[in-house]
Amino acid sequence: MTDALADPHYRPHTAGEPANGGPRDIVILGSTGSIGTQAIDVVLRNPDRFRVTAISAAGSRVRLLAEQAHQLRVQTVAVSDEAAVGPLRELLAELYGPGEALPEIIAGPGAATEAAALECHSVLNGITGSIGLRPTLAALQADRVLILANKESLIVGGPLVKALAKPGQIVPVDSEHSALFQAMMAGRRQEVRKLLVTASGGPFRGRSRAELAAVTPADALAHPTWDMGPVITVNSATLVNKGLEVIEAHLLYDVPFDRIEVVVHPQSYIHSMVEFVDGSTIAQASPPDMRMPIALGLGWPDRVPDAAPAFDWSKASTWEFFPLDEDAFPSVALARHVGSLGGTAPAVFNAANEECVDAFLAGRLAFTGIVDTVAQVVEEHGTPEPGTSLTVENVLEAEAWARARAVELARTSEATGV
């Protein structure tokens, strides 16, 4: 990945830009999830700028998927669960009028990957988890602009993604990385001293490690600021999500780990900051609403008017900042270590964490056991062999091992009550 890839001073990759100035054709992966539904809201409010031609989803929310297809009049619907095809066809037939052509349905484990390579201007990857890696690579190989909300694909497959991406081809959607992207416009790349990634602190800010031991799944799912899916919400509570974002920032902006700092900001108004060599710090601030970074990704390099609400500066407000308590939340330090190891270590970290979150939500693992177990899996995985090149196959192999080992350790923890 060249520095230019995520450099906001570069104009975006322009393959597929409408020649007549019409709306951009967009493919949305993960359309029924949080990012996907908010992206569709942005599109529907800006029909002159964007047109969705294909959507994909796992298939657990078939009715919503069918309603989205009908509302957007997409050409293609991709669903990874083949068992969902029958119900999906029935729902589409109900929604579409007599004689109306139904969208094509792509089904199977590779459906999202196939959708990512369809003809369009941009692909929004809003899939959760490392299953987003193959679609990310497919979009880049097909020369599409990749609007990246699936941080895991970059984290587990960093070298693979970097090898394929052209300058300006990736626009980040995570609120933190969108903020860094915008703040970096204030200076030249060589003038950046430090990246400051903000964290809300989750629902357990201020608690000690001992106090966190008794946290329940219901406690962890009660995020004070954002409305997200269960995995991301628990990751926010453990701050694993912030650790993943540190790795992502390192990969996107080629800034060393020792120059990427996490700062706790409970209000989540400032989404991240860039400190420059002259001592100036530039912050990107907006009310917590993911439609703003999504709209920026869809429209870049142009902003979408009224994409999300702005601050009401006539009202008083207080913004607070705190240092990260790394004793209570060791996940960020572990992520830095994993990112420094490179190779398949980030894939092991991410996969083990997903299994540990599942075990915690099912009541089989203590809250503090999530990161403790992930750390043990990472340690057992060891240091990558020097000179080992990363492939999709060895990423998947490392993930499979990490998942199995995490499940085994969680089962042992449940049995012993530790």
242 labelled binding-site residue: yes
316 labelled binding-site residue: no
Are the CB atoms for 403 and 354 separated by under 8 Å? Answer: yes
Query: In the prediction, which pLDDT does 2 show?
Result: 44
**Is it the case that residue 1 has pLDDT exceeding 50?**
no
Query: In the prediction, which pLDDT does 245 show?
Result: 96
248 labelled binding-site residue: no
The identity of residue 318, as a single letter, is: T
2 labelled binding-site residue: no
Residues 132-182: tens digit of each pLDDT: 999 999 999 999 999 999 999 999 999 999 999 999 899 999 999 999 999
Query: In the prediction, which pLDDT does 155 show?
Result: 95
H or E element in which residue 148 lies: strand 145-148
Q: CA quadruple 148, 340, 239, 380: dihedral positive or negative? A: positive
153 labelled binding-site residue: no
229 labelled binding-site residue: yes
Tracing tokens 């995995």 back to the chain, one arrives at 231
34 labelled binding-site residue: yes
Distance CA 256, CA 270 (A): 22
Which has the higher per-residue pLDDT, 360 or 227? 360
**Is it the case that residue 3 has pLDDT exceeding 50?**
no
35 labelled binding-site residue: yes
Angle at which helices 175-183 and 291-299 cross, to 10°: 60
Domains and CATH numbers, the chain: 3-173 (3.40.50.720)
Average pLDDT over the chain reads: 92
Partnered with residue 283 across adjacent β-strands are: 273
